[in-house]
Amino acid sequence: MTFLDTLRQWDDAVTCVDKKNLPEALRIFLAIEEPNSKIYFNIGCLHLLNKDFDAAEKAFDGSIRKDEHLAVAFFQRGITFYKKERQDKQQAEKLHGNQLIDYKALGLRYKLFACEVLHNMALVEAHLGNWKNAQENLQKALDCKTESKLNLIDKAFRSILKQKLFKLVEFPSSELFRPNKHYVAELEKKDYLGKAKVVASVVPQDQFSGFAPLQPQVIFSNLPVILFSCYRKALEGKAHIVLFELFPETSDELAVVPGNIVFVLQKGADNWATVIFNGRKGLVPYNYLQPLDFSPTSKRPEVKFFRQHIKRPILHYFMISVLMFPHHKQTTHNTCVIKIHFTFTFAISLPLGSSYEVLIDKIGKKLKLEATSLILSLTREETGESVINAKTDMKSVWNRAKDGRLTMWCKVYEPQEPQISFIALHTYESSNPEDLSFQEGDKILLLSRINQDWLEGQCGEKTGIFPASFVEELPVNGQ
């Protein structure tokens, strides 16, 4: 079976799913001779809807064999195992440390969150009676949760503390991997010749019968600018030039370098802009961008360049008009543009030689935070030499600037809460694997308060729960 045949059947099957004709969709998928990992995944999802768990497990195994990094296949296989009352511990391992994986670029409208995977693993542990392991998984889920998943994890955590089961997070039944829409479009037959048209000559005293002869070309001095303007309007965005290089940290962000021209479609309140670059749509910090003016009256070097090359053929005009020129407004010798990595990245400009107070005050106003609560550093990791404060020699800081550019890191100072410790009043011998054993006089570090009667703590290298009546709280920094 050729790739085009596979693509055509894949598209037909997904169309059947959209029409709620699931049996026909499954029949078409099963007829594909050499399914890829995405098609195997789709087959598994349809079997799961039919509650044919053995067939679903086999299909998800096939998907994983084809692509061992497809985390969502492990997630679905885990759900299948749960419904078959089995356990699959490989789900979280395949997230590669990511808080979420967005499969939109691969043809699946779904985001797999690490906190949801850990939530389901905690549910499996709870079913097996391993309440401590379930609580540990939910604690990890809390550490990597997003705001949209906060209620889900909190409800599960409350259920665990009461040793009650909670609801499984399931994959949406209507979502499947879809074939690349550009490939599908190529399946349609195209008429490259088009329909013939008869064009009569309307040129006065024309001796040529049939078609009009070539006429002298009229050259417009601002033609490249007009073409560029048309290209820009087609994208429905405003042209901006990129000032700083961006390394994407999520699938929604775009990789750009200084000099790239992007088209801003929307600017969000969080300082991120939705842009189009090279046919791709994504997010870029708006502070990384500078608006461009391509009006016919513009004095920018790009427009002057177009007019100097006005004698070139019209096709070349269009090619020139869409080039990404690396020209942008340069900073003056007395000004420095500072790129600052916070929870997001932004940029400010200051005169070279500014004092620490001026620098930290401007950053504080930008973040709408108290300047005294901020810590500045010249490196990602805070070390004695890299931290910038009121005692720092600012001359050495500004000497690090290259071509009027400087990078810094910023974070909010968070004073550490004092650790709470207890002294054991009595010896406690654990009766359950989850309990913490200790001897009278042992010092115990508090990890969490489960309820009024039970605490979770650490004694030496051992951790577990213990009754609050067996211990007494020590004063802060008490020995």
286-322 pLDDT, tens digit each = 888 988 765 555 555 544 544 454 444 433 434 434 4
| Residues facing residue 238 across a β-bridge | 264
pLDDT tens per residue across span 412-448: 887 666 788 999 999 998 777 778 889 999 999 988 8
Confidence of residue 258 (pLDDT cuts 50, 70, 90): confident
Amino acid 471: pLDDT? 92
Q: Does the pLDDT at position 220 exceed 60?
A: no
Q: Does the pLDDT at position 323 exceed 60?
A: no
The residue whose two tokens read 């504080």 is 364
Amino acid 221: pLDDT? 44
Query: What domains are there in the chain, each with its CATH number?
Result: 3-162 (1.25.40.10), 238-291 (2.30.30.40), 335-412 (3.10.20.90), 421-473 (2.30.30.40)
Q: Does the pLDDT at position 80 exceed 60?
A: yes
CA distances 230 to 59, 134, 140, 223, Å, are 49, 58, 51, 11
Amino acid 136: pLDDT? 86
441 phi-psi bin (left φ>0, alpha ψ -120 to 50, beta other): left
Q: How far apart are the first and last CA of the chain?
A: 75
Where is pLDDT greater, at 167 or 196? Answer: 167
User: What is the Cα–Cα distance from 298 to 295, expressed in whole angstroms?
Assistant: 5
- Cα angle vertex 126, ends 125, 131, to 5°? 90
Task: Please state, rounded to an integer, the average pLDDT across all residues of the chain.
Answer: 77
| 8 A C-beta contact, residue 352 and residue 368 | no
pLDDT tens per residue across span 101-142: 788 878 888 888 888 888 888 888 888 888 888 888 888 887
Q: How do 405-412 and 443-449 pair as beta strands? A: unpaired
User: What is the Cα–Cα distance from 146 to 328, expressed in whole angstroms?
Assistant: 38
Amino acid 27: pLDDT? 92
Tokens of 257: 């370098």
